[in-house]
Structure formats: C-alpha cells, structure tokens
A and B are shown apart, each in its own frame.
Chain A
C-alpha cells in the first residue's frame, strides 16, 4: 500500500496559493478561447431543434449554405463513423438523425468564417417536423411509463411491517428543482487537423479520455490518432464531464472534413439550452417512528427527470439512493428509485451527483418527524445517528469512520445552537411578519466512483538534469486546486520547493485511459499516482547515491537544504545532473487504484465507497411571510477534510460549495414552458448567488483528524461533500414558515428552490 513514506515530513503544510494565482489575477492564465487564432480558423454553430419530440420530415438547408461566410454545413449523414457523444449508452447523437428528443438538440452543424456568421446562418434553416407526443415532466413521464432504465430498489428488512408496527406514521412529499452549472467559461473546443488524419483537440473538459475515444469512433480513427488537451477550465462543476463532448466532437468533425482548424465557442444562451443540468426530483415518503423520533420504518420513492437520454443518470440516481441514509441508521427501509425519460435536455453530473437530492429527502423527513412530535429537529437528528451496533448502511457497508456525532456536538456548542434557538422563539412570538429559524444539518458523503473500475489514475513525473521537475497526471484543473495539491505531493517527495515543480496541461498523449475528474476523487487518485511516480524516481536516486558514495540506502535523506548521502551533501540539482551522467532514468510513471471497494449493482449491496467525508452546518434565516423573501443571516460550518493537503484551498471549496448549494435551494429556478422550451436560459432570468447573497456571518472550521483510510497523506476529498451543507438553509426556511402556526404538528408544503413564490405557496398551504 503506497500510503506515504513515514520518513517524509508532511506536517503542517503552508497553504500554497493556487498554481495559477499570479496568472489569474493578471489575465495571463490562458483558457481555450484565449490563444491566437490561425488565419484559416473556422467557427461553428448548431442548428437546433425547436420541437421537444418530433420526426424530422425534411431539412431545407439551402439558405444556410448560401449565407455569407458559410463554408460548409454538415448533417448526420456526413459523419464518417459513430454518430455518438454519449458516455455509456451510445444514445446521444452529435447531430440528430431522423428524430429529435428535446428542444435545442443539435440538428446540423454550420461551419463559417466567424461565430456570428455561423449563428446567423443556423437560423435560416427550414425544418419540417412531424411532432410526436412529448413527456416533459416527472408526472407526465410516470403516467406514460417512460423510463431510461428499470426502476431500482434498495432495501433492508421489512419496511412495510416496520411501518405498520410503528407508534407513529407520517407520509408526505416534495419537489426538488434542478440547477444549471453556469460555469463562467462556457463550453468550448478547438480542433486542429494533424498529419496523416490525426487530430488535436483543445477542450474545456473534465474528461479528455472520453472525448478522445468518442472522436476516434466518430472519425474511424484509433485512439492513438486523437489527442485531447486541457490546461484549465473556467469552472465545470460536473457540467463538463460528459457535456463537453458534443462541442469537441463537432469541432473535430468539422476540422476533419474541411482540413482546417475549427473553434466551437458556444453562446451562453445556447449553452444553457443545449446542455444538461442537475436532475430535478420528486420525493415521496412514508415514515414510521417511535415517541423519541427514532425512525423505525421508511418507504421512500425517489423519482428524477433524466431527460431524453441515459447520460450518467443511472449512476447519479444510484448515488441519490446511497445518500438517503446520510448520517442516520434506518433499520427497515425500502428505497424505490424511478429514472424517468422525458423530452427535455438530458440531465447530467453536477457537484454531488444525486447525493444532495438523497440527503435533502432524509433531512426533510427528520424535520417532518420533529414537527409531528413537537421536538427540536436537531434532537431528532441526533437520536437517529449511526452508532455502535447500528452502523450499517442500507447497502450493507459498515460505517467505520463515524465522526458525525462529534462534529455535530462541536457545531452545536460553538454555534450556540440552543441559546439561539431559544432567542429566535422569543423573537418570533413578538414578530408577526418576519419569522426567523435556525437549523443544523449534517453531511456524510461517500468517496469513490460507484462504478468501481473508474477508481484508477496515472501520472508522469520527469526530473530534468537541472533539477527542475515536471509533472502530468490524468486529473483536470477547474479551479479546485488539484494541480497545486499534486505538485505539493511531488515536491515533498524530493524535499524541494513547490516552485521547482512545473505543472503541465492534462493530455491524453501523456497519461492515457484516464477517468473523469469527478466524484471529488481528483486529489485522492492523481495525488497518489503522482506520489508513486515520484517515489520510483526517488528510489532510483537513493540507490544511485548509496552506490556513488558507498553508503547504505538508509543513510540517504532528502531534505530541504539538500540531499544527504552518508557524509556527503549535495543540492537536488547537483544530484539530478550526476544521476543523468550516471545513466539513471529520471522519468517515471505512477499508477494508483483505490483498494478495497466492490459493489454489486444487481442487488445494490457492497462497499461502493473507500471512505466518507463528513460535515455539519448551521444556518439562521429570516423569512418575510408577506413577500416570500428570505435572507440567510448567519452560517456556521464544521467540515471534515482529513489531514488537509492545502487548508486554504479546502476552505475555498467548502465556502464555494455551500453557496452553490444555497443557490440551488433558494434562488436558482429552471422554468420550462409547455412546449419544453427552457425559459431561464441566461443569468438575466436565472439567479445565481452573488457577493450580496453570501451570509453576513459565515464561519467555517476545518475538522482535520486524519483519514482512517491510507489516502494520500491521510487527506480527504473535498469537492462535493460540502455542497450538501446548504441543506440547513432549506430546513431553516421551512421551520421559519412553520413559526406562523407554532401549535401545528406538521411541516409547511415547501418545495425547492425556496423562491419567494414557493415560500408564499408554502405559507398559504400551511395556513389553510
């Protein structure tokens, strides 16, 4: 097990700034759109479907072809190989072939001398559709039995019997909205034809290898003919895991067929219409519990809108099921998960990957139980936590690292939960229109791809003869600080300053067959792979030094002030030069596969996760029950990062994830019209949190106990887990609305997001 060398001193880390810090702040960090364009570069746009579901009777593209600046127009018939940009199911077409499945679907590709010319020409097509019946909503799809895969069931014990036997029983349900990624840098790709049919693609993607494979199949090339490169993304959040492939494939097709470099820079509105989003869910539950609020039996139905194609929906909905337990022991449980196929854009990965929806469901149930019993919701949560003798998840994984009780206790104390809850109750008694509430919710997030084989990574480390180091790995940088974390790991191996390590763009010709940078796994997987590569070189250097200076290998040490070999001491640069002269290979690959995980999807049992990351958050909100407006007044967080690889970057991830989660649950609302057209396709109509939405009091503490599992330096993944900390905001808003009728023993019918409209509906529904 390549944990880390115990001899390495990896105590308190300086929080190195992001590797591109100085470039970011001076506008010198290059994104895909920033490079100089070759003089013969062509620009692309899609013609898009105006129908949600239809057969294409006829496409008249003559006006498109005749438009000024247009060089070529391609349809599905022009694709030499596979017309497929899907991750798994081979059901996402690059260009529609006979049938359209959602509004905005790509019908044809316009290749022109400028982006404006391409976009304007695309609108000149005359398309005849034969419309077919369309299912747009979860309810419509359910009524039509329209699914992307069979309904899944995860169960333990006998939920039905436990429900019948329980002292109390409540049923209910609510809707959870989707979310647009709104990465600040939109979807973009540049394809450049190379010699002998090869193609190079610069893409803003979390998954270069997948694009490589799709483009190869599309152009009847081998993977070795296609190189995909990404230096950095201007945000991704899951939205560039599969969705980048459409644009990269279009660029590659046009480059292949015209022999010229092409750029597809998607317009923002088109981007929001064409690309998939976070899944919206309908949750229905029937819960049985005792007088203390212990949940004894639970039947839960999770229904999600998957959209027109499969994309990653099976795994996303699986993860929703995996996170229904959150931190709680649910002895007799049945989870039924419906994956509904609708004629809307295919929903996709988004930070949390279904986990947030699953967790929100159980937190809602906790609030429901507390309301029924008239107990404090936090006490109900605590009485349901996993603990000794009750530490097995519904999918039969033992919760070995259960730190949720300690984290909650610390936050309750440091955040003065009880004191504030009491003063809020007094405030509400004297305030008819403004109602406040406080809520504390925990998070337990499973770390690993639940598709086991994806949990592997490779890295490439070069030491040059001047002592400088270059690293490359399969992970992609989207602002999460992966590159600097991995660079620090490598620098530590050689005991050199991190400034001596040059981080290079992720490329499929350097490290092959990579997994997406997703599932929060980037640093866990690539950090360990890079560590293994660096250790291979260090071991060679150690043997070389022992031989050269006739000392034992145990007498060789790499330290900040130089490398020691017996009685000799030399700089790392000197060592590198000598090793090169001594014909020692100074380049190595490293590989890592997460150990100990296995999962049987047919029974939904096993150990899908290597470990869990925990956290808890406390929010205080005020709601105006006449206007439906609310404000998040204060937030306190304790979040588990293991032994952090970079505390400053981890803090940024926690804060950013919380606010993104807050946006999902409060202001970000996707609206489709009756024809399946997205109405909220720009930030003018889709409200993303700004600086003024950040709570005024916002305090984050790190829980830095080392990971129980031997991850890289015993750190923990941090990208997704803190997203669900924002569940406390939704919980608090519901509780604030409930304060209008403190004597009631039920919950207001609040749906997510808690927009003013939804809050007012809940207020009215609660009064009636």
Chain B
C-alpha cells in the first residue's frame, strides 16, 4: 500500500515538473523522450531489470514508465497500454511476485528487480496453465485486456495463497478461494467485451488444479 502511494506521488510530481518546463520553451533543461534513443544523451539513468529471467540493462529517461520501458525499449509488446492511468489493468505485470500496473510506476524504481510479463509466463507453443485455462474457457474476446488479466490472475492466486485478505473476505484469518474473492480481486482489470464469466471460470479452473 505504501509503495503504491509513493509511486503515485512520485509520478505526478515528475509529470508536473516536466509540464512546467514545457510551458517555458526557452528552458534547456527539458529532456525529450526521444533522447532515450540517442546514445550519450544527458539525463539518462542506468537501470537493470531481470525481465522474464533475463538481466537487461537500459539507459532510461527517468520519467519512463515500466510499461514504456517494456514496450518501447525492450519490444515486449504483449503488455498493453489501455488507459495509461492505472485504471484499466491492461498493463498489469508481475514485479517481485506482486502484480502492478506498469503504467503507474517508473522503470528506474525497479532497478535490480524481477519482472514477469505475459511473454515470460508462456508462449503460444508452451502455455502457462492460466493461459491454457483462458483458451479452454474462452476468457477473452478482442484479446487486448487478456495479457493483463492473465498476469493479474496468476499473482492474485498467490495473494490468496499467502492469506492476504480482500474487501469481501468475511474472516480475515481464513482467506479462501471463492468466485466472490476472484471478482473483487480482479475488478482492477477491465474487460470491455465483458468476458467476465469465462475469465472467472478460467481462474477457478487453475485454482482447483493447484488445490
């Protein structure tokens, strides 16, 4: 919780500062996003991320979100940009075992951390059990929210297993899998096609396999 609050404050502060710089075009302190692509450009920070098991080094504009680092710099485009506001969940990835809206956090804040994206869970040829369950239960329509749903679901089951309660948990000492828990915990992942029944069924399927 505190980490998330910190993320939000940080991002807004930084964006606010950059907007102020832009309002005065004569200022030279502005670091354009494109600078990240130019070797030797000023203002870049070195970052090391362990993405899907591989250690990767990047020099990034510190304002670069984790989402943009994945999509624009590492070409891992399975993670989607839906709203870029942390409201739709399409950009969900797993960082250090916890699901996170990658659009709401800066890549430089995760230096040295381990990131799992949809590509790291499985491939079309070798699907993760959650990916397989989404296929079996038709847990998507347009597919755009699907990578986020699946990353979210995988980490969400771990949260239940770890005994973390949710808003609908009746007994805080007994956190158990239920459809109600899934619906509550997955409510940060919008599916505009509303394949929710099938998404919940897929997650239940995996939870029962694990049980």
Residues of A at the B interface (CB closer than 8 Å) are: 15, 17-18, 20-31, 33-34, 36, 63, 66-69, 113-117, 120, 123-124, 181-186, 232-237, 267-269, 478-481, 648-649, 651-653, 655-660, 682-684, 688-694, 696, 698
Contacts and interface: CB of A to CB of B under 8 A. Distances in A.
Looking at B25, B144, B184, the one whose CB has the most chain A CB atoms below 10 A away is B144
Contacts of A655: 194-198
A233 B142 contact: yes
A184 B85 contact: no
A28 B84 contact: no
Given A26-B124, A691-B196, 15 more contacts: A31-B144, A33-B81, A36-B75, A113-B34, A114-B32, A234-B144, A235-B192, A479-B193, A651-B138, A652-B138, A652-B195, A656-B194, A659-B194, A690-B189, A691-B182
Contacts of B25: 63, 66-68, 124
B141 A18 contact: yes
B84 A649 contact: no
B200 to A, nearest CB: 6
A524 to B, nearest CB: 19
Contacts of B190: 182, 184, 683, 688, 690
Given A184-B90, A691-B187, A232 B143 contact: yes
A418 to B, nearest CB: 27
Interface in B85-141: 85, 87-88, 90, 117-119, 121-124, 127, 131-132, 134-135, 138-141
Nearest to B90: A184
B197 A237 contact: no
A726 to B, nearest CB: 11
A682 B83 contact: yes
Contact of B82 (A116, A124, A184): A184
A653 B90 CA distance: 21
Interface residues of B, number: 66
Question: Closest 10 CB pairs between A and B?
Answer: A27-B78, A479-B142, A234-B144, A24-B143, A479-B141, A27-B118, A659-B194, A683-B87, A34-B77, A25-B131
B80 interface: yes
Contacts of B192: 181-184, 235, 237, 660, 688
Chain B facing A: main interface SS: loop
A691 B83 contact: no
Contact of A184 (B88, B123, B127, B196): B88
B33 interface: yes
A22 B140 CA distance: 11
Contacts of A63: 25
Contacts of B87: 682-684
Interface string B14-34: 000001001101000010111
B206 interface: no
A694 B127 contact: no
Interface string B153-173: 000000000000000000000
Given A25-B131, A694-B194, A120 B142 contact: no
Contact of A656 (B88, B123, B141): B141
B140 A18 contact: yes
Given A124-B22, A683-B85, A25 B33 contact: no
B183 interface: yes
A468 to B, nearest CB: 19
B188 to A, nearest CB: 8
B163 to A, nearest CB: 21
Contacts of B150: 25
B32 to A, nearest CB: 5
A18 B138 contact: yes
Contacts of B66: none
Interface in B20-50: 22-23, 25, 30, 32-34
A26 B78 contact: yes
B200 A185 contact: no
Contacts of B186: 690-692
A184 B193 CA distance: 9
B16 to A, nearest CB: 13
B125 to A, nearest CB: 8
Interface in B64-85: 71, 75-85
A173 B175 CA distance: 49
B199 interface: yes
B85 A25 contact: no
A684 B85 CA distance: 8
Contacts of A649: 138
A185 B32 contact: no
B170 to A, nearest CB: 15
Contacts of B144: 31, 183-185, 234-235, 479
A185 B194 contact: no
B140 A24 contact: yes
Contacts of A651: 138
Contacts of A660: 192, 194
A656 B193 contact: yes
Contact of A26 (B127, B141, B200): B127
B83 A27 contact: no
Contacts of A124: 22-23, 25
7 contacts: A25-B122, A26-B122, A186-B82, A234-B145, A656-B195, A660-B192, A692-B187
Contacts of A183: 142, 144, 192
Given A114-B34, A652-B195, A691-B182, A235 B142 contact: yes
B87 to A, nearest CB: 4
B30 A68 contact: yes
B180 to A, nearest CB: 8
A326 B15 CA distance: 51
B138 A17 contact: yes
Given A268-B85, A694-B196, A25 B127 contact: yes
A479 B143 contact: yes
Contact of A20 (B123, B143, B189, B199): B143
A184 B199 contact: no
A578 B198 CA distance: 45
B117 A27 contact: yes
A34 B72 CA distance: 9
A658 B194 CA distance: 9
Nearest to A685: B87
B85 A26 contact: no
A479 to B, nearest CB: 3
B124 A23 contact: yes
Given A652-B198, A689-B194, A117 B32 contact: yes
B11 to A, nearest CB: 14
